[in-house]
Amino acid sequence: MKRFLLSFFVIGFLSFSSIQAQYKYVEDFVEIRSPHGVVVDNDGKIWVQPYAKVDTLSNGVVVSGLHVFDPDGTELHVYATGMIDGLPDTLTSTGRGLALDHNGNILCSNGYLYRINAQTGEFMNRYNFNDEGPTSLTQAAADANGYVYISKVVPGGSPLIILDENFDLYNFAVDALDPLSRALVVSPDGKDIYRGTLSDASGIIHYHSEDGPDATYEVVDSLLGPNGSGFNIHSVNVDPAGWVWAGSHWGAAPPYFGWYKIKTNILTGESVNGELLDSLGYQLKPVLGDPAGAVAPDSGFWSPRGVAFHEENDGSWTVYTSDFDGHVIKKWTNANPVGIIEVDNGVAIIKDFELEQNYPNPFNPTTKIPFALKKAAHVKLLVYNVSGQLVKTLVNETMLPGTYEYDFDARGLASGTYFYRISFDGKLQTRKMMF
């Protein structure tokens, strides 16, 4: 087995036999009544969706607008109105969840399902579920091919539907649903849907279709359920490494009171039912009882809803969490989100990929960076200068097993030392090169 030392980013962790990710509370990012959805768009802007109608238009209409912030907390926009098919439209229903589509635009559940341009705030599309008019919809999900998945919070036997890239009905993923649900996520290839449930101790229901959206999905598992696991799931989201996170309401049976990373990965298909890998913050109910409407202190929270992860240029993650009953979006950071997977006699062992030394090295002005993957996963190959600034993204996509080689052209850059780092299935490795 070939061994590598993880340097530059994680050198301080080699003395531990295993590392659990450490999420540090940063601040109460914004206080807003009953926040539900939160996403970070491709430009790093944070979109916050309240369930409550907290905004009033100039004509006196109260709405649940989308509040957009810079990472420093500066509010940039509030989007509540737009045009659909030449007619004015307004977010007059309660906010039920946010997600990103395959192009990074905003999927907003607010009576109808809206697609909103993340750059301009323009209302791009609207879908009327089953032609029912405004209704309570779950948080939507999108796969890498542009298909969008959505159902109702109280399905009552209604379907889980699939929309095509034009927001037209494409297929029924599941013809009739139960029980209640607020959120779902889907794998990039569209073959696997994970639907969180609120009742009947059903956990996260995993549906699979070998033909993806072109066929009907079948139930293959119930994660964290059904047999009285205690989870009362109000949110389902995915982190940058593909791991599924579930949020459990304060009314759930102990000890499950918060956001948990479960051992299910939508990129690799790995899944172990009932195994929890990590958690975020601490739940206040065991200490203070039912929520009293006050903002939860520091890293405490009452009621998990949406959670949004953002990978920064230095490889750290910033996380934004919606505390529905605490009326706040909290901000967290994790400098080493993946930790060291395994340590043998003080040496970190990477099992699933191999990053080779670039050649030629030193180089002028181009060099080749080879690496090999033993399984499919989302891969990032990034180049940094000695100050830790990102200078080039060479790869950022899901890749199949195999051997790869990418060219790095340093023309226009100062001569000196550079680092190239690969991120693979939540594992990191960095090497040095000279220009």
Give burial (CB, 10 Å; 0-12/13-18/19+) of 166. exposed
The whole-number average pLDDT for the span 9-24 is: 40
What pLDDT does residue 349 have?
46
Q: Does domain 20-334 have CATH number 2.120.10.30?
A: yes
The residue written with tokens 């990418």 in the block is 406
Encode pLDDT of 192-201 as tens digits: 999 999 876 6
The CATH class, in words, for 346-434 is mainly beta
pLDDT the model gives residue 318:
96
Enumerate the domain spans of the chain.
Answer: 20-334, 346-434
Q: Quick check: do 20-334 and 346-434 share a fold?
A: no
CB-based contact 389:345 (threshold 8 Å):
no
At 115, list the tokens: 């697609």
Span of 282-291, 339-348, 402-411 with lowest mean pLDDT = 339-348
> Using one digit for the tens of pLDDT, what is the confidence trace for 51-63?
999 999 999 999 9
| Distance (Å, whole) CA 151 – CA 110 | 13
What is the arithmetic mean of pLDDT over 298-319? 87
Residues 313-337, mean pLDDT to the nearest whole number: 89
Which has the higher per-residue pLDDT, 290 or 234?
234
Q: pLDDT tier at 376 (50, 70, 90 boundaries)?
A: confident
Query: Is 33 a residue whose pLDDT tops 80?
Result: yes
